[in-house]
Amino acid sequence: MTKTIHTLTPTAISSAYSLIKPYIHTTPLLTNTTLNNLASTPQSIDALQGTEYEGQTPATPKIRFFFKCENYQRVGAFKARGAFHALLRLIEEVGEEEVRGRGVVTHSSGNHAQALALAAQTLHIPAYIVMPSISTSSKIAGTKGYGAEVIFSGSTSTEREAVVAEVQAKTNAILIPPYDHFDIICGQGTTGLELHSQYAALVAEKPELSVHGSQTGELDAVITPVGGGGLNAGVATFYADKSTKVFGAEPSFEGGDDCRRGLVAGERVTSVKTLTVADGLRTPVGVLNWEVISDANKVAGVYAVTEAQIKAAMRLVLERMKVVVEPSAVVGLAVCLFNEDFRRRVEKEAPQGWDVGVVFSGGNTTVEAIGKLFA
């Protein structure tokens, strides 16, 4: 099969799932009444000060959450799906002997780094991982713990890619990019496949969990974080033939909302320099990913939230759900709770409300990092 945007289909996601299922966890789908109630309560008048909605009545959407907990995935993030899929397909295509002889290389701030290191260790392939020197210590330790050789770089994607080129020149290793890659996108899209079937089963058993109060086949919406865009593009690809709307969420800090800004401008933003607390979302959206996300038939919109809103959402998940997440994981929840544009959209499009699937993308943080964040 020639891998192009036209072959990025729900069928391709299903095929990826069949291949990686023996290697990944089926992660849980959780609900939480407290967060449902918070999302369905108008924001305070103060929260709208300084925004275009200052002085207006806050929106009152009705939202029921279904949290897909990829923080419980192997390596603590959804990235294990894409890494296993890309490496298994590579072995199929060029042969195990060649892949083993050359090894694989990638660059990542942490979650894809650990994921490819695990996949390579599992399949007995040498791995070279380029990581920013400011990566979370637990992510560096995790990557080394899976037997990969870690090479440090600067924090921007340009600096990271330059070091990858040096590694390839020395080793002839095969590049498996962190997000801008057909097989990575298909692997990440299996998150949506699981979410879809788990939601249907849960609501069939407990219809009262749905905002519709009865058995319903599909979520009204799914929201995922957007960094490089592999997860969002993959999930949007899976849902392309369904009624569920897919949304993206980004940090606004220092221009971290490159995808949202690109959609407004009508062209992809090619570089990002942000030190947002959502460290997994510091990269620009990939070229292939942009083709999916910029298609309004596949992704219905991308919304941004502030650092304070990300931290507030993370605190709620830690304290109310007792679930350990990293800041990147909660940007989607933060949009639902605090982004007035999104909240008004739900209120306008669905007076009866929406069942919203929120992907918690990962949980790779440390007690020290959490302490520092909330000090």
Active-site positions read 79, 109
Whole-angstrom distance, CA of residue 217 vs CA of residue 64: 15
DSSP secondary structure string for all residues of 159-189: HHHHHHHHHHHHH-PEE--SSSSHHHHHHHH
For residue 289, give the amino acid letter: N
Q: Helices 10-20 and 230-238: crossing angle, nearest 10°?
A: 110
Closest CA to 329 of 203, 223, 217: 223
Could you tell me where the DSSP H helices lie in 123-156? 137-145
Residue 217 Cα to chain centre, angstroms:
24
Encoded amino acid at 197, one letter: S
Here the tokens at position 175 are 């590049």
Residue 169: count of CB within 10 angstroms of its CB? 9
Which residues, in sequence order, are CB contacts of 264 under 8 Å at separation 6+?
none
CA 229/CA 283 separation, integer angstroms: 9
Residue 196 has, within 13 A of its CA and on its CB side, a CA count of: 21
**263 close to 217: Cβ distance less than 8 angstroms:** no
Q: Cα angle at 198 between 303 and 326, to 5 degrees? A: 45
Residues 6+ apart with CB under 8 A from 163: 107, 130, 151, 152, 153
Looking up tokens 């279904």 gives 66
Which secondary structure element, helix H or strand E, spans residue 11, and what is its range?
A: helix 10-20
Whole-number Å distance between alpha carbons of 370 and 242: 38
